[in-house]
Structure 1
Amino acid sequence: MPDEEMIALIRPDWIGRSMPPFVDWTFTQIEHRMGGPNFIRVPDGTLWACARGQHEDVPGTVLARMTPTSYETVARLPSSGDCSYAGMVWHDELLWISYYSTHEAKTSVYLARVDVS
């Protein structure tokens, strides 16, 4: 983070925060359970996360808006069954997300481009 704060998204339902030298941590328990979490800070400063979870009670790989103390799912990517472990990169003003899922019978890797503006 710009102020040197470190943020950690920890399964099943925690966000951790610490300042250098990263010895003392503060943890916030969030409402959503998640697996295989990852997050990115995009150029406007917002934090976006992907994880195995639920959006509107449907399980799958979810996209969530987060802050250092909150996590809110906003969408479910096409996915179900065994799915998760998203990778994310900001490119050409879009959030690019790679993830795997078994929703089309066999396990495959998918790429989503998401406009989060």
Structure 2
Amino acid sequence: MNDELPITIYNEKGKLNSWMPFHYEAERKTRHAVTVQGGAQKSGAATRSWTSEIFIPYQLLKPLFKNVPVSGSRRKGNLYRIDCDQGETLSAWQRNSGNFHEHGKFGIFEFE
């Protein structure tokens, strides 16, 4: 439904930490869009498919990086989706056991 919860959970030398951005506005705000094919874009509607696009600005993540990522830089991470139409359904870009904190199962993001 094009909603978001901008939080970050990260692993620093085996210790899990979490972070929620302050001043979440202007150049620090993510941009996202959802399009639906073959149905209405509303909760519980039958659809053929959907597409989601997300832009995460470096300014938002800056406090988490020791070095500025350059083209070709790689970082581990994952993206999650939580649906609540018919009870809670969890989806992840990279599969895990249902525990969002399994950093060993994260995928690789490559910066352009």
TM-score normalised to structure 2 length: 0.27
Higher RCO (CA-CA < 8 Å; seq separation 6+) = 2
Please identify which structure carries the higher helix content. Answer: 2
